[in-house]
Structure formats: structure tokens, C-alpha cells
Structure 1
Amino acid sequence: MDLCTLSVKEFLKRVAERSPTPGGGAVGCVVASLAASLGAMVANLTIGKRGYEDVSDQMESALEVCENEMTYLCDLVNKDVQAFDQVMSAYKLPKNTDDEKAVRKVKIQQALKTAIEVPFDLARRAKNIIINLERVAKWGNLNAISDVESASHLLLAVYYVAKANVTINMKSLKDEKYSEWIKEEMDHIEKQIKGAHERIIDVITKRNG
């Protein structure tokens, strides 16, 4: 099932059910998409408005990024569920013989990497969106600027959602070199997101007088 085709009410019901999916990772993807939607809204409310003619190109560019991320994140919602299912399937593989145990071990490690890569990708998407929102905060329609601030808060939360999902799957991963690389990349992404968030709040505060 394509979770992005569900109504908001249906999606909430699915999350609340006695099933591990859709879980935090999928919810994080939806929240990131909502943040991108808010950015797109502010860009749309700026394009063509009197007094904002000089920033039309910037807003058109920002709008394109937001719309692309919205589409990508819808696909990522489903990939998150699929990744979890792969991990569960790997753990359920037979382990009666040495060969079966060896195959199961490899499959589990492969599935765990997939389950790490999806939230890792979510973190990168959150970074892309929030950096893009900096220009919307600087030049977007002042009457809707609080929506950019709201989006930036959501994206900071999304990063921590992604980090939580990366961390829990890394606990059972045996590839130390890969784990260290992921950790370093996540730390770098965190700094970028926090920096962009602080700059957005600062510029909005100044614009609001």
C-alpha cells in the first residue's frame, strides 16, 4: 500500500494500530514533507506579490526544491516501512543448519544497512530543505514568515527522528567502518541543520522588528 495516498485521518489510524509500521521513521518522512510544503506555500505567496518582484527568481527556485523534496519524501515513507519489513523477514529466516545460520547472518546485516540508509537519507533531505528555507526566510512574504519558522522547527525535530532510527539499527550492525562513517556523516548533517535553523530564526526575528 502507498501510505501517501491515505487521508490524514487514515494515516493517523494506521500509525496508532498494534503494528510496528508505519512508525517513527515514516512519520518523520511525512513531517519533513509537511515542512517542505510550508516552504512551498510561502514561496507561492511571495511570487507575483507587489513589493517582492526582485526576489521572484529566488522564490521560484526555492519552490522547485520544496516540491521535489515533497515528492521524494512520499516515496521515502513507503521505503521506511519496506526496510523494517526486510529486517523482520531476515530475523525470521531458518537457522537449523550452519549454512542457514550463515545465510541468515548475512541477510540480517544487509537488511540492517537498508534500515539505516532510509533514515540517513531522511536526515539529508531535512538538511536540503532547511538550507533551502534560508532564502525563503530572508526574502519571503513577511505576512507568512511564521510558516517558515514553523517548518524550520519541524525539520530540526525530523533530524532527531532520523538519528533515533539510525542509532537503533546500528546497535546490531557488525560493520564498524560503515557505522563510523554513518556516525560522522550524521554529526556533520546535525551541525548543518542546527546552523541553518539558528540563522532562520535570527533573520525572521530581525525581519519582524
Structure 2
Amino acid sequence: MPKQDKSDIKLVRTWTLPATVTMGSAVRAKGVLQEIQARLPTISKKSISLEGVDLTLAMAASEKTTFNAAAAIASKVVAEAVALPVIPREIEDVLAIKTSERHRWLADGRLPSAGTRTVRLNGRARQITFHVFDPRVVEELLDTGVVEEWRVEEAEAKAEKKQQAAYQAKLTRSLKKQSAKRSKRAKDSSEDSTLKLGGWEEFDIDGLLH
């Protein structure tokens, strides 16, 4: 059996992300991976991968120093991950909400912002700034299922608003009809008065009023 080249022997380390970190979201798990990659030197970024909730760092045995440095960074991020701010795409996946709902509930205060983050898009000069959220708040919202209550409240408010709009439209049409009827009656009354006055003038011409 041929002797295996020591340079082919890989250094491997794995971390399993707990549910308190991922909150059941693959997007959140990927966010942890990206946070690690952002802190690693360029040469090490592709050495760590994610499968499900398992992070794996793998390098050749000859890269032991680089491996140990990368492992220390990954361990630190994993330890801090439970407190990492939740970014927009993550909260949408965790709570199963639409982008429009996130914007609306952020604006009315139901989704409290934990601050903003500014990042530069890959390969571009342009930067974007977005709101991030406290993971403890997001976890509480997930556990209580309050999002569904918000949707029910909004649906009821929308239905009530639609009903009020329909009533207002009906009232407006009714008032217009009443106004048109009053105008017609006033016009008819004016024409009747003119005819009556015309009759008196003819009566006067005949000298019957003298």
C-alpha cells in the first residue's frame, strides 16, 4: 500500500450552529458563514463551508498556522453568533414575512430597529445602508407568533377602511342626486314663476287691472 503524502492530509474542524443562533433559518445560518468569511483573510475565505447547520473548515496539513488562525476566528464568530444583529433578509426568512411587511412594520414601530449597518456591495463602489434587528426581539416575535395577529389586524382594518370608503362613495352619490333634484325643483319653480308673471303682464295689457 503506497504511503500517503502528508501534504494531502487535511486539517478539519466542524462547528454546529445551535437553534438559538439560526432560529430555524437557513438564511441566518448562511449569514453566520458570511460573517466568518468577512473576517478571514482572502486566502482562507473558501476554506470554510456550510452544510445545513454545520460549518466545516478544511485545509491541507501544510497550512497548520493559517488553519489555526482561521479556526480561532470561526470559533469567535460562532460564540458571538447568538447576539449578531439580524439583517433584513434573515428576519424575513425567520418570521416568514414579505419585504413590504418588514418595511411597514418597521415604519410603525412593531419591528423595532436595533440600528443600521452600511456595507459595500461586492465589486461595486456603491454602499447600502439598512436596518438591523435585535436577535432576542426576533426570537420573541417568532415564539409568540404575533406576526399572524398583525396580519389579521391589518386585514380587518383594510376591510373596515374599504367598507367606510364604499359608504362614503354611496353618501356622496346620494348627496349629488339630492342636489340635482333641488336644482331641478328650483329651476322648475323659476320657470313657473316666469310663466305666471307673463300671464299677469298680458292681463295688464288688456287694461283689466285698471
> Which of the pair is proportionally richer in helix?
1
> Which of the pair is proportionally richer in strand?
2
**Bigger CA radius of gyration:** 2
TM-score (normalised: structure 1): 0.26
| Higher RCO (C-alpha under 8 Å, 6+ residues apart) | 1
TM-score (normalised: structure 2): 0.26
